[in-house]
Structure 1
Amino acid sequence: MGRFKHALLEYHERSKHRVNSYAPGPRQLDWSTQPDPFRVFQGSPRIALPLAADDLPARYNDLRCGALPPAQKFSLSTIAILFELSLGLSAWKSYGAQRWALRCNPSSGNLHPTEGYLLCPALPGLSGGGGVYHYLCRDHVLEQSAAVDDSQWTDAFSSDGVLVGLSSIYWREAWKYGMRAWRYCQHDCGHAIAAVSYAAAALGWQTRLMVAAADEALTALLGLDRGADFGVAEREVVDGVLWIGIPDAQPDLERLYSILDRAHWYGYANQLSPRHASWPDIDSIDRATRKSQTREPAPPNPEPPLWSATPLLDLSFARIARQRRSATSFDGTARITAAAFFAMLASLLARRDTPPWNALMSPVSVHPALLVHRVDDLEPGLYVLLRNSQALPSLKQAMRPDWLWQRTGPEHLPLYLLLPYDLRAVARLICCHQDIAADSYFALGMLANLEIALKQPWRYRQLFWECGILGQALYLEAEATGARATGIGCFFDDEMHAVLGIQDHAWQSLYYFTVGSAVADLRLSSFAPYEPQS
């Protein structure tokens, strides 16, 4: 364990951006090796999915409060909605001769290292029967990876749910971002977990991460250990597997794995780039944070009191999921009401059966440190949203002793004012001198309890996932308020720590985020994600 702890800390420090030196990355982009944004399994049977999301009545405001609709039956149609509104395309954009796809799940640089898989029994309308499928979002189809003709497979699932697997292709991010790419892959995994959780909730389903299983077993379950199926293609690394359905009806993963030994496997992965650069630090941190079999975790922390204000717009979930965008600039003058700001923060408080927090099986470990610039009736300054009250002593000890820690805002919102001050210039500096951090309503760094990962190195990945889940919640909350958000991977880690007074590894900032009034780029043209079906 000491060896893994050393590797973790070494990667964490070496992958930091600093004012006088950025983390190691490519000196220049080799456009001839830009990765294909779509993983395809050639030779796999394909099952077209209907575009049925527009018929979904669920409202976002209900989902964010945990008011889920009655659970729909699992079928080809409902599975299609699940993937369309979580991992599917949301639009095509073009500028001149360039054309690219956007997706419902955000990604740094729009590079999308995350791949999605379905494991299910035979479902109505699913012609391939039970088995393992890869979701090809470009065409909104399922590619069958494994066909299982075994009643034990169906019995293992009963009729209470399906599994969604997530994996990462590190090269997709490393091509542009080098060593720090591993961090961004974990952020993207967190965004994808949240996106799946929200879409499942819109269908009345609960979501749970299968956290006890070993990564080796999950790799085999998705077929990612089949070397002959990948050949020279870029390998995928398993992130996690989500149970979608009735929480107490989760299948035995080892039983499913044993049945897959008798399955018929299809397809060969396409190669995404003709050449690759090697990033040994990514290989090292991946080895250090792989997970073995563990016991089921203890129940999460007691839930906070339910408090949730209604955002400005009452939108269908399908609309808000597909209109989510990352802002590229803010106007720097608009303000947000205190009520809207508090409503956003309230949505970040974890509740057991409310998306996206229902996916998490571990206690809350990440807390936003907010740099507030333009919120009506709220002093500009430095604030902390305490998502887990048990962390208060540790956070106070880690930060400057002269902070105010003055409770502010609604009674049931654990928001603390540390310092009243105009921090726009500080926010710009922290975010690699980007104006978007100063021109926002507010910016925030996500403080994670790194001591957890030093004891259990695989939790390092999960801390980044929790940051990504927070980011996805902020993305949707911003859209519901008529605003826009963006995640920022380029920030000076230790400049954020210096502002807070953090001097050791007990707490570290793992992600940065901003919310504001977006300035539209009128040079871009937008097109529907998929051709209308006849």
Structure 2
Amino acid sequence: MASPQLTSILEYHQRTKHHLDRYAKGPNGLDWADQPDPFRRFEGSERFQLPLPKNVPTPTYNELQNPELIPPQPFNRNNLGLMMALSFGLSAWKQYGKDRWALRCNPSSGNLHPTEAYLINTAATDLPAGVYHYLSHDHVLEMRGNWRQTPAFSGILIGLSSIHWREAWKYGERAFRYCQHDIGHALGALRYAAAVLGWSVELLAECGDETIARLLGLDRHNEFVAEENEAPDLLCRIHAGSQMSSDESVDRYLAELSIDNWFGKANRLSHYHHFHWPLIDAAALAAAKPATQENYRHPGIILSPPLTNGSQSAFEIIRQRRSAQHFDGQTPIELNHFYRILQATMPENLIPFDLWRWPAKIHLFLFVHRVEGLQPGLYALSRNQASLQMLKDNTRAEFSWQKVEGAPETLKLYNLLNADCRRAAKTLSCHQDIAADSAFSLAMVAEFGDELAKEPWQYRRRFWESGLVGQALYLEAEAIGMRGTGIGCFFDDAVHEVLGINDTGLQSIYHFTIGKPLEDSRLQTLAPYFHLHNEPR
């Protein structure tokens, strides 16, 4: 018999599906006067300005896949500032007429940014030991807490949380899904940023939500507007170097971080909160994670991509990442570039997947439109060889599952059928042209199965993994002169019907598309921190 938590999660997932004849429940129009502030601030907390990025380490983007060759930088305020800027900081401002809005290095559904980042420092001597909230608008750390006596345990932790209201304001009940996507993107952004500095990221997967909330001060509900509470998501430790030590106890580390003093109060993000979404609260409660034991580790295999555009710095690629709004509908992608992108999504790839503690549960079904040397049609990429037969058994019997000749041996890429899939891709992705005008688009299909039945909180991890894959797709697209876009709006069960999926064991949870972008010349682009120190536009 299914647990109440699993029942609640599956009911949430089913209820928040989009259908061809109706969409998941959302607000009746957007209340622009109540649009949430995209920047969380803790009023009354002491601020520590981080240096703006300059004279940054210059590994190329391709060199990130050989992290042992990148000399680790010291833990200090300058380098921590660079890591925060490249993971959660601003990448640009866009302006149209009198309207101006910020873009960030970590993507977000609707550019609403529900993810908040925290830094716990007991290692950098030029920054007081404490718990900090990162305010991307000002590129500052706001001290939230400290200790009467600094713990003997030395390290840097990064914590991530979600403000569900920010997404629910626009997307209603489906917003909980999007918050989890964004956590995955943010985790990927953190891994790439740390790699620039020669650092590695360890996901402290054993931690339960209550521990994370206690460490970050998220359980101090009187310091938050009730409708705008932050939900704890994950905690990471940053290591100086490519090798993560295993001789230090996570439990001991966290036990020493009992904060004695707290500072600041969260700003109000919206005034009215006209709509309330109890289904999101129920899903978050059902997906709450306890403390666990985690034994799986990344296999440590490097799948080095071909040295295409090898001179581009990682800093440039990360900073220039954007979500394409339109594609030209004409430009094909080179076959070797296509293979490079797919190879970057494989779990054996070190960056960003060396932090992922579990076997891959996300697989790609690709609608190929314009790839040189490849027939247009539907393809499948199994990201876990152990899942291949299961994918074959649970999709249409008429699919050919022909291994693509000439593809790298490390890619389990199969042709399912040859066809012009542009109309189908557009229809399935909520009639959006970007799914058809690109070079290719894809559906990320997650394994729900037995593990989810035993541990319903793994529902969140499926979305995190899809966001991690999405971040790799975003940056690889930039590296080859293309651009990507995540697609959260799609007709769930219509996708399943096309693929022949007829039970809840496999579910489409995220779409993505890559092609040649069309730039909107009406928009003015401003430098990310021009508003702070008159940075050149």
TM-score, length basis structure 1: 0.95
Q: Does 1:511 align with 2:507?
A: no
Structure 2 counterpart of 1:229: 223
Structure 1 range deviating more: 232-241 or 394-403: 232-241
- In structure 2, the CA distance between the partners of 1:136 and 1:35, relative to structure 1 (3 Å rule), is same
SS at the partner of 1:212? coil
Is 1:373 the counterpart of 2:334? The answer is no
Partner of 1:473: 472
1:175 aligns with 2:169: yes
Q: What does residue 26 of structure 1 align with?
A: 27
- Counterpart selection for 1:207 from 187, 201, 205: 201
Would you say the 8 A contact 2:165–2:227 is kept in 1? Answer: no
Aligned pair in 2 of structure 1 residues 412, 79: CA closer, same or farther (>3 Å)? same
Q: Does 1:239 align with 2:233?
A: yes
User: Could you tell me how far 1:420 is from its partner in structure 2?
Assistant: 1.2
Between 275-284 and 13-22, report the one with greater CA deviation.
275-284
**Residue matched to 1:332:** 329
| Correspondence list, 1:326-405, <5 A | 326-351=323-348, 354-405=350-401
Residue-by-residue CA offset, 1:70-89 (whole Å, 9 max, x unaligned): 11111111101100100000
Deviations 1:246-298 (A, max 9, x none): 52257645445544545211111001001212101101110111011111233
Q: Distance in 2 between matches of 1:124 and 1:53?
A: 21
Q: Is the 8 A contact 1:233 1:271 kept in 2?
A: no
Asked if 1:266 is matched to 2:267, the reply is: no
Contact 1:156–1:251 (Cα < 8 Å) also in 2: no
* Secondary structure in structure 2 of the residue aligned to 1:475: helix
**8 Å contact from structure 1 (residues 289, 461) kept in 2:** yes
Once the two structures are superposed, residues 420-445 of structure 1 have per-residue CA deviations (whole angstroms, 9 ceiling, x without a partner) of: 11100100100111111100000000
1:173-221 deviation per Cα after TM superposition (whole angstroms, max 9, x unaligned): 0000000100100000000000000101111111121111111111101
Say which SS state the counterpart of residue 248 (structure 1) adopts: coil
Amino acid at match of 1:195: A
> What's the secondary structure of 1:326's corresponding residue?
coil
Q: Answer whether contact 1:368 1:385 (CA < 8 A) is retained.
A: yes
Q: How many angstroms does 1:307 deviate by?
A: 4.9
Deviation at 1:411, TM superposition (A): 2.7
Q: Which amino acid aligns with 2:330?
A: T
Give the match for residue 519 of structure 2.
Answer: 520
Q: Which residue of 1 aligns with 2:421?
A: 423
2:219 pairs with 1:220: no
Please provide the CA RMSD for this pair: 1.8
Deviations 1:306-362 (A, max 9, x none): 35223346311111111100000100011111011001111111237x221022111
1:179 aligns to what SS in structure 2? helix
Aligned to 1:443: 441
**Shift in Å, 1:156:** 1.7
Alignment match, 2:294? 296
Structure 1 172/88 Cα, relative in aligned 2: closer, same or farther at 3 Å? Answer: same
Q: Deviations over 1:16-68 (max 9, x none)?
A: 00000100000111111100000000011100000135522121111145555
Residues 223 and 483 of structure 1: CA distance in aligned 2, closer, same or farther (over 3 Å): same
Q: Provide the secondary structure at the position in 1 that maps to 2:236.
A: strand
Corresponding position: 1:483 with 2:502: no
C-alpha distance in structure 2 between counterparts of 1:345 and 1:185, whole Å: 25
- Decide whether the 8 Å contact of 2:153 with 2:256 is kept in 1: no
Corresponding residue of 1:412: 410
| Counterpart contact for 1:311–1:343, Cα < 8 Å | no
Cα distance change of structure 1 residues 118 and 105 upon mapping to structure 2, 3 Å threshold: same
- CA shift at 1:454, angstroms? 2.5
Would you say the 8 A contact 1:132–1:145 is kept in 2? Answer: yes
Structure 1 regions of 5+ residues with no counterpart?
none
Number of residue pairs aligned between Structure 1 and Structure 2: 525
Asked if 2 retains the 8 angstrom alpha-carbon contact of 1:450 and 1:508, the reply is yes
Aligned to 1:321: 318
Task: Specify the SS of the correspondent of 1:355.
Answer: helix
Residue by residue over 1:210-257, the C-alpha shift from the partner in whole angstroms, topping out at 9 and shown as x without a partner, is 111111111101110012322557110011011110522576454455
Measure the CA separation in 2 of the matches of 1:71 and 1:372. Answer: 40
Deviates more, 1:394-403 or 1:372-381: 394-403
CA positional deviation for 1:303: 6.0
Q: Residue type matched to 2:187 in 1?
A: I
Structure 2 CA distance for partners of 1:53 and 1:503, relative to 1, 3 Å: farther
Residues 457-484 of structure 1 show CA distances to partners (whole Å, capped at 9, x for unaligned) of: 1111000000001111000000000000
**Shift of residue 299, structure 1, vs aligned partner:** 3.1
Distance in 1 of aligned mates of 2:519 and 2:69 = 33
Task: Rate the CA distance shift 1:250–1:6 in 2: closer, same or farther, 3 A.
Answer: farther
Q: Structure 2, unaligned stretches of length 5 or more?
A: none
Fraction of identical pairs, as percent: 48
Q: What's the secondary structure of 1:356's corresponding residue? A: helix
Are the structure 2 counterparts of residues 222 and 68 from structure 1 closer, same or farther at C-alpha, using a change threshold of 3 Å? Answer: farther
Structure 2 match to 1:162: 156
> 1:8: Cα distance to partner?
1.0
| 8 Å Cα contact 1:64-1:355 kept in structure 2 | yes
Q: SS at the partner of 1:85?
A: helix
Change (3 A) 1:262 1:81: closer
Residue pair 1:212, 1:297 contacting (<8 A) in 2 also: no
2: CA distance between counterparts of 1:423 and 1:309?
A: 29
Q: Residues 313 and 435 (structure 1 numbering): CA distance in 2 closer, same or farther, change over 3 Å?
A: farther
Tell me: CA distance 1:281–1:251, structure 2 relative to 1, closer, same or farther (3 Å). Answer: farther
- From the superposition, tell whether residues 262 and 52 of structure 1 become closer, same or farther in structure 2 (CA, over 3 Å): closer
Give the residue type in structure 2 aligned to 1:140. H
Could you state the TM-score of these two structures normalised by the residue count of structure 2?
A: 0.94
Amino acid at match of 1:178: G
Equivalent pair of 1:212/1:294 in contact (CA under 8 Å) = yes
Confirm or deny: 8 A CA contact 1:68 1:202 kept in the other structure. Answer: no
Contact 2:300–2:354 at 8 Å: present in 1 too?
Answer: no
Moved more, 445-454 or 192-201: 445-454
What's the counterpart of residue 18 of structure 2?
Answer: 17
